[in-house]
Amino acid sequence: MNIVVLISGRGSNLAALLEAKLPATVAAVISNKADAAGLALARAHGIPALVVAHRDYGSRAAFDAALAAAIDRHAPALVVLAGFMRILTPGFVGRYAGRLINIHPSLLPSFTGLDTHRRALEAGVKIHGCTVHFVTPELDHGPIIAQAAVPVLEDDTEVTLAARVLAEEHRILPQAVRWFAQGRLVIVDGRVRVADEL
């Protein structure tokens, strides 16, 4: 099973996927930013690492069409957004319906969008975390595959809280991809059920 991973930066979730020994092949890594550190990581693993720079396109639709063309060359069964920081058009999302997943650094539906750790601290929540979900046209709202919670400690800063959440991201993203590769994710009425292992 081929997967394509989309990134925008550091690539630590990509690293977690590559270390997880998944029953799937990362066929390509694509970044919308040429300076994404995750591209070098992909190349070090011998994985094709491509840039489709959003700045080169005049509209979201044109960028998404170029991105889809780059993805489809690798015929992936699954596309993983691993720190990909662009909003995707409904057309793009529809093209990959049921085979596009995202890791988000909050316990959705709380704290959609950006600056999740700062906003969690400001809200005074005692529990924070991360979510892997299927992508639907509404930002950060699709069916939830996996979540992990961490405590928010009294002396936390954005940096310490983000690090605690990130360690859990590195656990649940490979877990979700493994379940997908095993054909165990079933969406019923907008909710994900993880079927028993055969």
Out of 6, 71, 93, 104, the only residue in the binding site for ligand GAR (CB under 6 A) is 104
Phi/psi zone of residue 123: left (φ > 0), alpha (ψ -120 to 50 degrees), beta? Answer: alpha
Nearer to ligand GAR, 157 or 195 (CB): 157
User: Smaller CB distance to ligand GAR: residue 133 or 192?
Assistant: 133
Q: Is 170 a catalytic residue?
A: no
167 CB burial (10 A radius; 0-12, 13-18, 19+): middle
SS3 31: strand
Instruction: Examine residue 13 and tell whether it contacts ligand GAR (CB under 6 A).
Output: yes
Q: Which stretch binds ligand GAR (CB under 6 A): 22-30, 51-59, 98-106, 178-186?
A: 98-106
Beta carbons within 10 angstroms of residue 99's beta carbon: 15
Q: Does 103 bind ligand GAR (CB under 6 A)?
A: yes
Residue 47 contacts ligand GAR per CB under 6 A: no
Q: How far apart are CA 33 and CA 19, in angstroms?
A: 23
Is 156 a binder of ligand GAR (CB under 6 A)? Answer: no
Identify the CA nearest to 135 among candidates 169, 176, 166, 164. 176
State the residues that interact with ligand GAR by CB under 6 A.
7, 9-13, 38, 82-83, 85, 103-105, 166, 169
Show which residues are catalytic.
104
